[in-house]
């Protein structure tokens, strides 16, 4: 990871001069504080990962110690179990379908809000903006009743559809400025060349707003991967469990087997962490760019 400044999706370019010339090292006190901050942030994660490489007796004798010797049976055991992979694939399916749904519906409505003039536009934008204030938790009880009436209890669709609905506000708020920022001249030039408005949407607007689309997609996927309360309410049978429910269930089922619980926990956070480390510039940069507007 270089010290590059961006990944910021804003169309406004930031000069990358900082990376060009070698920097001074600066005040050592700052590095010390940064070191403390990083240890505090990463420490518990490292504890969970390392704990999975220990035995229960190691953990009991010295709860904060390092693996000695390293034991791989916990991780192997979890990786060999059908439960983990079934929950893993449920989480993956739910995450991918949610992401596609959020992106498709979100891009469509954002495009209308960004580049068309119509009477209800203001009201529509406010509606989505207001949705930010009422996250899933507030609506979960009545939402559960609606999901039940739709016959979607204990099915993955019962999680996917509400997640798409609740993912829309953030998506609209992030994407609308992106689509709005595409210069009018480009659209006019395309129109003169005979491109229809919808043709412009597919061939110009979406490619140009790609950084925003990717940011939104990543947020939707991680949000879905980590969602707990909705599966908790909606899913009953273990074949449909997603990883968060699985972790909770596993940790109460094997509460005496701490090492195994740590191995299971650390394996189930790996996908989100790997995903994050691949796209970290997009996520951190995307938020940075978002705030800069």
Partner 1 sequence: MSETLRTAAVGRIRRGALQVGDAAHAASPTPRARKRGRGRQRLEIALLTSPAIIVFVGLVIFPVVLAAYYGFYKWQGYGPPTDWVGLGNYKIIFTDPAFQQALEHNGLIVVLSLVIQGPLAILLALLLNQKIRGRALIRVLIFVPYVISEVIVGTGFSLMLQVTGAVNDALHSIGLGFLATDWLADPNIALWTLMGIITWKYIGFAVILMLAGLQSIPDELSEAARIDGASYWQVQRHITLPLLGPTIRIWAFLSIIGALQLFDLVYIIWGQYISGTAGTSTMATYMALNGRLAGNYGYGSAVAVVMFLVSLVVALFYQRFVLRRDLRGAVTQGVN
Binding to partner 1, residues 125-184 (CB under 8 A): 125-135, 137-146, 148, 161-162, 164-166, 168-170, 172-174, 176-177, 180-181, 184
Site for partner 1 in 73-102 (CB under 8 A): none
What stretch of H or E contains 112? helix 82-115
- With 0-12 CB in 10 A as exposed, 13-18 as middle and 19+ as buried, what is 198? exposed
Q: Rule CB under 8 A: say whether 222 interacts with partner 1.
A: yes
Measured CA to CA, the distance from residue 292 to residue 247 in angstroms comes to: 37
Q: Rule CB under 8 A: say whether 40 interacts with partner 1.
A: yes
Q: Rule CB under 8 A: say whether 48 interacts with partner 1.
A: yes
Measured CA to CA, the distance from residue 122 to residue 221 in angstroms comes to: 28
Q: Rule CB under 8 A: say whether 13 interacts with partner 1.
A: no
Select from 33, 76, 79, 239 the one that contacts partner 1 (CB under 8 A): 33
- 232 CB-near residues (< 8 Å, 6+ apart): 245
Measured CA to CA, the distance from residue 29 to residue 108 in angstroms comes to: 49
For 94, the token pair is 């739910």
CB of 232 to partner 1, least distance (A): 8
Contact by Cβ (8 Å): 139, 186: no
Q: Which is nearer to partner 1, 77 or 177 (CB)?
A: 177
Site for partner 1 in 270-289 (CB under 8 A): 272-273, 276-277, 280, 283-284, 287-289
CB of 128 to partner 1, least distance (A): 7
Q: Rule CB under 8 A: say whether 239 interacts with partner 1.
A: no
Q: Rule CB under 8 A: say whether 198 interacts with partner 1.
A: yes
Contact by Cβ (8 Å): 275, 221: yes
The CB-side HSE value for 142 (13 A sphere, CA atoms) comes to: 4
Q: Which is nearer to partner 1, 7 or 77 (CB)?
A: 7
Site for partner 1 in 242-261 (CB under 8 A): 244, 247-248, 251, 258, 261
Q: Which is nearer to partner 1, 81 or 248 (CB)?
A: 248
The CB-side HSE value for 15 (13 A sphere, CA atoms) comes to: 4
Contact by Cβ (8 Å): 203, 189: no
CB of 110 to partner 1, least distance (A): 9
CB of 64 to partner 1, least distance (A): 4
Site for partner 1 in 200-219 (CB under 8 A): none
Peptide bond into 66 cis (omega under 30): no
């Amino acid at each position: 990871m270089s010290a590059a400044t961006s990944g910021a999706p804003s169309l406004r370019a930031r000069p990358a001069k900082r990376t060009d010339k070698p920097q001074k090292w600066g005040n050592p006190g700052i590095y010390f504080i940064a070191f403390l901050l990083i240890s505090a942030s990463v420490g518990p994660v490292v504890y969970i990962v390392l704990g999975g490489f220990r035995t229960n007796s190691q953990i009991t004798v010295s709860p904060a110690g390092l693996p000695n010797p390293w034991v791989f049976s916990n991780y192997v055991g979890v990786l060999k179990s059908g439960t983990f992979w079934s929950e893993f694939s449920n989480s993956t399916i739910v995450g991918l379908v949610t992401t596609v749904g959020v992106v498709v519906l979100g891009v469509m409505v954002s495009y209308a809000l960004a580049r068309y003039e119509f009477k209800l536009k203001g009201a529509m934008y406010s509606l989505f903006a207001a949705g930010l204030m009422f996250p899933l938790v507030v609506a979960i009880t009545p939402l559960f009743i609606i999901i039940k009436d739709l016959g979607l209890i204990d099915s993955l669709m019962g999680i996917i559809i509400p997640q798409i609905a609740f993912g829309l506000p953030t998506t609209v708020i992030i994407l609308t400025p992106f689509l709005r920022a595409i210069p009018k001249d480009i659209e006019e030039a395309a129109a003169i060349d005979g491109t229809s408005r919808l043709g412009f949407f597919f061939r110009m607007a979406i490619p140009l707003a790609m950084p925003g689309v990717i940011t939104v997609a990543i947020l939707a996927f991680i949000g879905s991967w980590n969602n707990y309360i909705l599966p908790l309410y909606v899913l009953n049978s273990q074949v449909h469990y997603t990883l968060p429910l699985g972790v909770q269930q596993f940790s109460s089922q094997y509460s005496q087997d701490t090492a195994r619980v740590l191995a299971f926990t650390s394996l189930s956070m790996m996908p989100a962490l790997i995903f994050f480390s691949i796209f970290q510039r997009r996520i951190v940069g995307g938020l940075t760019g978002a705030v800069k507007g």
